[in-house]
Amino acid sequence: MRIKLTIEVWQKGPWFIAKCPELDFVSQGPTLEQARDNLLEVIQIQFDEMTAANTLDDYLAECGYIKEDNLLEPRSERVAVETYAMQVA
């Protein structure tokens, strides 16, 4: 089975932070690629543990995923990302 997800990456000092907003998992690494790979590893480990505990389906439903054919898709889809500066004081 395949899952559709988003990976967001930020740079914070020398580190890259990777996040999957649909699943609320975060990881980091010294490069963008390592942060992404670490995040995918975290997701796989968590899915393996949830499968063993028989809680994966409940977690994915809680995160808003639906199963269509052999693909898990989020019920919502990101339509925009903006960087914006506003006056606060």
Which residue segments constitute the domains of the chain, with CATH numbers given? 2-74 (3.30.160)
* Helices and strands counted in the chain (H then E): 2, 6
pTM of the model: 0.86
Q: How far apart, in whole angstroms, are the C-alpha atoms of residue 67 and residue 46?
A: 19
Q: How far apart, in whole angstroms, are the C-alpha atoms of residue 52 and residue 67?
A: 20
Instruction: Give pLDDT tens digits along the chain (89 positions).
Output: 899 999 999 999 999 999 999 999 999 999 999 999 999 999 999 999 999 999 999 999 999 999 989 999 999 888 888 889 999 98
